[in-house]
Amino acid sequence: MITTRFAPSPTGRLHLGHAYSAALGHERARELGGRSLLRIEDLDQTRCRPGFVDGIVEDLDWLGIDWDAPTIVQSQRTGAYDEALQSLMARGLVYACFCTRADIAQSLSAPHGDAPSAYPGTCRLLPQDPQRRASTPHCWRLDSAKALHLAGLPSWTEADGARFTAAPHEIGDAILARKDAPASYHLACVVDDAASDVTLVVRGADLRSSTPTQRLLQSLLGLAEPSYLHHALITHAGGRRLAKRDLAPTLAAMREAGVNGRALARSLLAGELPLGFAWSEA
Ligand code: GLU
């Protein structure tokens, strides 16, 4: 049975691009008699606000999207992420990294549009020092060289059947957790996709760069392989990306302006955009 999920982070109001992503996953599941799930990715406590969760639920309801299971909330599932991290640690696939706060801080959320950070591996060869770990902020990184040696280069299938194999430079020593945060986006995402039997990951093309790392983690953790639909993005007509701080394309603003949410979802699925917006492949 097909299972899709929409996995927003409550760091702002949803915009047109989220509406398309949610509607597309929902439609795929409905067409094939499968399940569509909602997951709130709220692990990055510095950026997420509980108030945005209510807004997300309201917006999705306005679009006419319904769900087949109770909403999954990542901040309530930290034990599962820790278990996965421990199993990677036990196999020597993870090391503590003490690089600057700024290096480490940028790391917990989904890296929209960015290539994986080319971390130079500064801390990879440090001797393991529990005392330093107890007193110093640090994160946990995947030893990607070891991981690739063990699992080989990851590959994945897109929903149209095309098979891709990652290039080595697409995989870095990804951050998996931080001393003060139970899991990064990558780790929580693969653990949750597997726990809810997600078979088709529907998300924007700006998250395609996350797929090699996530496929690698799935192999290492022995998790089932979903297929992927990385869909076109919606931008402003001039090509500028939609940002959560822009007011115009938020679904809340459209609702207040009297737009019909169900009709909007239908037209997005038919490839029609409101005036002032454009499709973009990346
Ligand atoms: N939570 C991510 C976001 O903010 C999406 C993750 C995913 O779909 O894999 O867009």
Same domain, 36 and 127: no
Same domain, 98 and 146: yes
* Smallest CA separation from ligand 1 atom 10, residue: 8
Q: Is 110 in the pocket of ligand 1 (CB under 6 A)?
A: yes
- Model confidence at 163, pLDDT cuts 50, 70, 90, reads very high
Q: Tens digits of per-residue pLDDT, 148-160?
A: 999 999 999 999 9
213 part of a folded domain: no
Asked if the model's pLDDT at residue 109 lies above 80, the reply is: no
225 part of a folded domain: no
188 part of a folded domain: no
Q: Tens digits of per-residue pLDDT, 13-28?
A: 999 999 999 999 999 9
What is the total count of domains within the chain? Answer: 2
Q: Tens digits of per-residue pLDDT, 126-155?
A: 888 888 888 888 999 999 999 999 999 999
pLDDT at 81: 98
Residue 64, exposed/middle/buried by CB under 10 A (0-12, 13-18, 19+)? middle
For residue 124, the CA-to-ligand 1 centroid distance in Å is 28
- Model confidence at 246, pLDDT cuts 50, 70, 90, reads confident
- Find the CATH number of the domain harbouring 135: 3.90.800.10
In sequence order, what are the residues at sequence separation of 6 or more whose Cβ sits closer than 8 angstroms to the Cβ of residue 13? 52, 55, 56, 59, 244, 250, 251, 252
Residue type, 25: G
pLDDT at 103: 65
H/E/C letters for each residue in the chain?
CCEEEECCCCCCCCEHHHHHHHHHHHHHHHHCCCEEEEEECCCCCCCCCHHHHHHHHHHHHHCCCCCCCCCEEHHHCHHHHHHHHHHHHHCCCEEEECCCHHHHHCCCCCCCCCCCCCCCCCCCCCCCCHHHHHHCCCEEEECHHHHHHHHCCCEEEECCCCEEECCHHHCCCCEEEECCECCCHHHHHHHHHHHCCCCEEEEEHHHHHHHHHHHHHHHHHCCCCCEEEEECEEEECCCCECCCCCCCCEHHHHHHCCCCHHHHHHHHHCCCCCCCEEEECC
- Model confidence at 262, pLDDT cuts 50, 70, 90, reads very high
Top mutation candidate among 38, 75, 185, 198 for ligand 1, by most atoms within 8 Å of CB: 185
Same domain, 41 and 90: no
Same domain, 87 and 67: no
For residue 207, the CA-to-ligand 1 centroid distance in Å is 8
Same domain, 90 and 174: yes
Same domain, 83 and 168: yes
Same domain, 97 and 171: yes
The top-scoring range by mean pLDDT among 93-107, 170-184, 267-281 is: 267-281
Q: Which two tokens stand for residue 142?
A: 């995947």
Task: State the angle between helix axes of 16-31 and 261-269 in degrees (0 to 180), rounded to the nearest 10.
Answer: 70
For residue 185, the CA-to-ligand 1 centroid distance in Å is 8
Q: Tens digits of per-residue pLDDT, 57-87?
A: 999 999 999 999 999 999 999 999 999 999 9
Question: Which one has a higher pLDDT value, 99 or 217?
Answer: 217
Same domain, 57 and 98: no
Domain assignment of residue 86, given as a range: 79-154+162-178
Same domain, 32 and 119: no
Q: Tens digits of per-residue pLDDT, 177-223?
A: 987 788 999 999 999 999 999 999 999 999 999 999 999 999 999 99
168 part of a folded domain: yes
pLDDT at 69: 97
Same domain, 110 and 54: no
204 part of a folded domain: no
pTM for the predicted model, two decimal places? 0.94
Same domain, 18 and 103: no
For residue 101, the CA-to-ligand 1 centroid distance in Å is 23
- Find the CATH number of the domain harbouring 14: 3.40.50.620
For residue 7, the CA-to-ligand 1 centroid distance in Å is 5
Q: Is 42 in the pocket of ligand 1 (CB under 6 A)?
A: no
Looking only at the bridges linking them, the beta strands covering 35-40 and 72-73 are parallel
Same domain, 96 and 67: no
CB atoms within 10 A of CB 50: 10
Asked if the model's pLDDT at residue 36 lies above 80, the reply is: yes
pLDDT at 172: 92
24 part of a folded domain: yes
196 part of a folded domain: no
Q: Tens digits of per-residue pLDDT, 48-58?
A: 998 999 999 99
Asked if the model's pLDDT at residue 105 lies above 60, the reply is: no
Q: Is 80 in the pocket of ligand 1 (CB under 6 A)?
A: no
61 part of a folded domain: yes
Average of per-residue pLDDT values in the chain: 93
